[in-house]
Structure 1
Amino acid sequence: MEFNAVYHQASDNYCYPLNEDELIINIKTGYDVKSVSIILGDPFAAGILGGGEHWDGKKEPIIYKKRLKNQIWWTTTVRPEYKRLKYYFELQTGEESWFYFEDGFVSSEQMHLEGRSRQCFVFPWMNPCDVPRTPAWVNDTVWYQIFPDRFCNGDPSNDPENVVLWREHGSVTNEECFGGDLAGITDKLDYLQNLGINGLYLTPINEAPSNHKYDTTDYTKIDPRFGDEETFKHLVKEAHKRGIRVMLDGVFNHSGYYFAPWQDVLAKGPESEYYDWFMINEWPFDKNGQAAKKKQYYTFAFYDSMPKINTNNPKVRKYFVDICANWVENYGIDGIRLDVANEVSHRFCKELHARVKEINPDIYILGEIWHNALPWLRGDEFDAVMNYPLGQSIKDFWIDKSLTNEDFEYTINRCYTSYMQQTNDVLFNLLDSHDTKRLRSDVKNLDEYFAQIAVLFAMPGSPCIYYGTEIAMEGSYDPDCRRCMPWSDIEAGKYAERSRIISTLIHLRRQEPLLKSRNFHFPNDYAAYRRVIQFQKVDFPDCYVEVLINCCEEDVEVVPQGEILLERHYIDSTLLSNGILIRRIRK
């Protein structure tokens, strides 16, 4: 047996409570393992520990599995009668059997040695307050990310003196301000509602000198170029009237250069009461803009104008937790996204979680983390993270033509075995954002474009589209991905067909429960075609939803069956050209 391929631990995504009654247990093995059983029972079923008891447990097969690139992920759900569990595994290759304990592998012969210890895995107690809980509404949400300065100018009276005439086509720079504001977003809420959107994610709206606002000057104020507190409250109220939730972006890893505490540090140095609010190593600072690279103080990346906030400092944590609490209480927002979330302290994240969940247990806390984020997703920090690994994996399949449908299966399964199931339900899934090249500029044609979005909308979690995605808006890397929304062309109907397809996907996602389901598998009905994606969403005993996407050069013969929910290039009910077929099939 491939011993090195086997892994389990009685914690994190390998063993965790799904709710107060159910415990999820996962184990990885190599492909040589043909069957896995779990032997389980109450730790005290045979007596108290160390009392000479002989504990056996009950044997149950583990039947659910997902294929990874080099391993199999086996899954079972158990209901410990007394809220605790003791267990080990039996692994069979067809030729041999091995028993897997916390201290390693034991042969059948060793299992029968009298007096030999059995160091079982143990989940001690399923305390309800330790169960990771995520807000259920997020799984029903389709998000729309807005970069306010470039979305819509609804109130020219708050435009700055250097405002640039709205540019519906062509590139933009980080120095240009186009006058987009909160009133403009409010004006377009009906447009978003008709599109099917029911969640808004706004990049920062607090006072800052830049157009992107990630260099915050005042966390207590709405930027005057966007409006004021009443403008934002009105936006939230009108959004809620339409069933649209609102999430704000919080920048707590670093501040802007003109943040008052930083200005105090620059004026007073170590004598400033805010000196420990930042991560300063040396004073005075270099005057040539090289302080960050010389490690005189830490910053966001190497921008001297964005000093890193010291969230290890209790006073700093309280200040920013109070800021977020005010957003929730005063504005009535539904979510908070933390920028550069992997660099703020875990202590800050835990205190933030405790405070805002006390105000609104249903608040959604989202972290910007681009890599595996399990340490932040154990139930006491974030509800979810921006699922960049999923988006990158989807795009890679279309970019790298050597990848097969098996490779696609492996990479999707990797993304959804990294976390707990309740986390998977609310992962923030996206294909592009204000930080990346736009999807349309990454693909050759609209067939590929809509196919990737269709995959996104059929995945567990909560899908997000970036403003302009509905019209296949182009844009290269930052800042070109932040172009102005071409409202004149949209209102003239130039992009009506593109918007119709995206709106159909959005409404289908919201109306079809199976598309939101965490339960999916990859059958092998189209093995003859290397690049046909096929997966099925299963949650009901009588039906499932199947997603078929043809990425081949040739047409694919499809067996006509089920109720068609969405089709693109499905010809004569038998052939699938380079396109999409989503259908509900009765068992």
Structure 2
Amino acid sequence: MPGWIETALWWHVYPLGFVGAEPALDPAQPPAHRLRRLEAWLDYAADLGATGLMLGPVFAASTHGYDTIDPFRIDPRLGDEADFDRLVAAAKARGLCILLDGVFNHVGRDFPAFRQALAEGEGSAAARWFRLHWKRGPGAEPDYACFEGHRQLVTLNHAVPEVAEHVVRVMTHWLGRGIDGWRLDAAYAVPPTFWARVLPRVRAAFPEAYIVGEVIHGDYGAIVAETGMDAVTQYELWKAIWSALNDRNLFELAHALDRHNGFLDRFVPLTFVGNHDVTRIASRLADRRHLPHALAVLFTVGGTPALYAGDEQGFQGIKEERAGGDDAIRPEFPPLPDGLPPDGWPLHRLHRDLAALRRAHPWLHRARARTAHLANRQMVLVLEGDGQDLVLALNLDDAPAALPAPQAISVEAGDGQVIDPGAAGARALLPPHGWAILSRAG
């Protein structure tokens, strides 16, 4: 894993929604140059404490960006290649890295090779790119493998060298244009052997590139080892955070953190409490008073954290399983940060403060979480790494709680106070629904 990722904090943006692009591409329209709107938010991202932009799809696509038409061209609804180069330069001037979303499991129906395969038939060179089953009868379209039943997302044939060569070309092209890494969309749907063939070729040209795969279920450690990725998305921890807080069952979180420690022995996962595919954390939590608790976990446990744009302002949004069901979680942002509603800025300040705390303790990137006290509604975690430690205390109860916090000396973030600071019997006194990050003696 490249060394620079150890201090990374991603601000995750879904560009097509962020800039208010049309829901479908009109090839007759000229480039709209909307990427320039994102430039106006770079100072906001840097001030928040982010060190990089994790961008959703930016390549030419038919609708939502995951139905790619041309991965070598910026989507005209966002602008053109000059707009992208300008965004990269502006981000780098502020110390922000760029991570792009690589959709390499499937393409859109308007992808040229797929159109060519339909036009030229079963024996064509283009037909090798896809998993096609040709029907009998003149003019009949073949059946084809598609992504999770979505017929507009045509699965590539990862067994042929043409597809591997294509993916290597795309990845190295944009790395050469100044990006710093890739998020591999639906990486779980692609055979691990494909990544094992492709990624070494990419790394040979760009050894400092960071590559993280979208993986929801499965053996995370084995997937990293078999594919050569640096990391995968930590959906297990995401689910445990909001579920444990909603059920006031912190045993679930403790169990997930034990598994998380095991992952950290093999790789450093990408951690998050929200992204472009899930209900926003402010809507997911049954009790908004527990939003700081979720953030305190995200910013103290080992991992490479990512913040989904708008979550730091408390944006609401529920994902629905229907056409257009992602619209609420992928909204348009105002042209400038000062157009944000005023009630979101206190939460923004909390994000910024927690980002500063993590920046002051870079060892947290690989920190292990040891459970020092556990009940349904209370938890004390000791975060340890490189001979250093912090304590995280959580209270989900309607009553105050005095929780054991041996050797704790002061509150670094959150609320409450330390009783008998520095002593073996030190306790963290938390108010109802309170939390605190504590420093310890020595």
Which TM-score band applies after superposition, normalised by the shorter structure?
A: 0.7 to 0.9
How many residues align structurally? 418
1:443, 1:449 within 8 Å by CA — same for their partners in 2?
yes
Matched, 1:248 2:100: yes
Contact kept? 2:24, 2:62, Cα under 8 Å = no
Residues 196 and 226 of structure 2 are in contact (CA less than 8 Å); yes or no, is this contact kept in structure 1?
A: no
1:513 to 362, 369, 372: 362
Which entry has the higher C-alpha Rg, 1 or 2?
A: 1
Aligned with 1:494: secondary structure?
helix
CA-to-aligned-CA distance 1:232-252 (integer Å, 9 cap, x gap): 112112212211111001111
**In structure 2, what is the equivalent of residue 335 of structure 1?**
181
The Cα of 1:452 is off from its aligned counterpart by 0.7
What is the CA-CA distance between 1:571 and the residue it aligns to? 9.8
How far, CA to CA, are the matches of 2:37 and 2:226 in structure 1? 36
Q: Distance in 2 between matches of 1:492 and 1:213?
A: 28
User: Are positions 1:413 and 2:266 aligned together?
Assistant: no
Consecutive unaligned residues of structure 2, counting only runs of 5 or more, are 26-31, 320-324, 420-427
Q: Deviations over 1:334-382 (max 9, x none)?
A: 1111111122232321232112211221111111110133332117521
182, 190, 198: which one pairs with 1:352? 198
Write 1 or 2 for the structure with the bigger share of helix: 2
Secondary structure of the 1:219 match is: strand
Identity value in percent: 27
CA RMSD of aligned residues (A): 2.7
Q: Is the 8 A contact 2:312 2:347 kept in 1?
A: yes
Equivalent residue number for residue 137 of structure 1:
4
Q: Tell me which residue corresponds to 1:72.
A: none
SS at the partner of 1:191? helix
Give the equivalent residue in structure 2 for 1:381.
228
Superimposed CA distance per residue, residues 400-452 of structure 1 (whole angstroms, 9 cap, x where no aligned partner): 23x2x4443222112332x352513xx11112211111111111333211211
Cross-structure match for 1:396: 243
Q: Secondary structure at the match of 2:306?
A: strand
Partner Cα distance (1:490, 1:551) in 2: 34
What is residue 58 of structure 1 aligned with on the other side?
A: none
Q: Are the structure 2 counterparts of residues 285 and 547 from structure 1 closer, same or farther at C-alpha, using a change threshold of 3 Å? A: farther
How far apart in 1 are the matches of 2:85 and 2:379?
44
Question: Please, which of 88, 107, 110 is the counterpart of residue 236 of structure 1?
Answer: 88
Asked whether the 8 Å contact 1:149–1:180 carries over to 2, the reply is no
- What is aligned with 1:26? none
Judged with a 3 Å threshold, the aligned counterparts in structure 2 of structure 1 residues 162 and 395 are, in CA distance, closer, same or farther, namely closer
Q: Which of the residues 331, 346, 356 maps onto 1:483?
A: 331
Report the CA distance between 1:143 and its aligned residue.
0.9
1:285 and 1:513, CA in 2 relative to 1: closer, same or farther beyond 3 A? farther
- For normalisation by structure 2, the TM-score amounts to 0.87
2:393 maps to amino acid: L
Deviations for 1:18-38, whole angstroms, at most 9, x for unmatched residues? xxxxxxxxxxxxxxxxxxxxx
Residue 270 of structure 1 aligns to a residue whose secondary structure is coil
Q: Is the 8 A contact 2:192 2:223 kept in 1?
A: yes
Match of 1:444 among 277, 286, 289: 286
Aligned mates of 1:196, 1:145 — CA distance in 2: 13
Equivalent in the alignment of 1:85: none
Aligned with 2:117 (options 265, 268, 273): 265
CA distance in 2, matches of 1:379, 1:304: 29
Q: Specify the code of the residue in structure 1 equivalent to 2:51.
A: N
AA partner of residue 436 (structure 2): L
Is contact 1:489–1:495 with CA below 8 Å preserved after alignment? no
1:316 to 149, 154, 163: 163
Q: Which runs of 5+ in 1 are unaligned?
A: 1-133, 154-158, 164-178
Tell me how far 1:324 sits from its aligned partner: 0.8
| Change in 2 beyond 3 A, CA 1:490/1:586 | farther
Pair 1:544–1:346, CA change in 2 (3 A): closer
Q: Give the TM-score taking structure 1 as reference length.
A: 0.67
Number of the residue aligned with 1:227:
79
Q: Is the 8 A contact 1:569 1:577 kept in 2?
A: no
d(CA) in 2 for partners of 1:471, 1:213: 25
For residues 86-135 of structure 1, what are the alpha-carbon distances to aligned partners after superposition, in whole Å with 9 as ceiling and x for unaligned?
A: xxxxxxxxxxxxxxxxxxxxxxxxxxxxxxxxxxxxxxxxxxxxxxxx12
Matched, 1:209 2:62: yes
**CA-CA distance at 1:570 after TM superposition:** 5.5
Q: In structure 2, how many angstroms separate the alpha carbons of the residues matched to 1:381 and 1:161?
A: 35
Question: Any idea what the Cα deviations from partners look like across 1:139-180, whole Å, max 9, x if unmatched?
Answer: 311111101122246xxxxx76989xxxxxxxxxxxxxxx89
Task: Pick closer, same or farther for the CA change 1:393–1:288 going to 2, 3 Å.
Answer: farther
How many Å separate the matches in 1 of 2:247 and 2:94? 41
Moved more, 233-242 or 386-395: 233-242
Letter paired with 2:385: D
Q: Structure 2 matches for 1:17-28, cutoff 5 A? A: none
* Alpha-carbon distance change, 288 to 313 in structure 1, aligned in 2, over 3 angstroms: closer
Taking structure 1 as reference, are residues 285 and 408 closer, same or farther at Cα in structure 2, changes over 3 Å only? Answer: farther
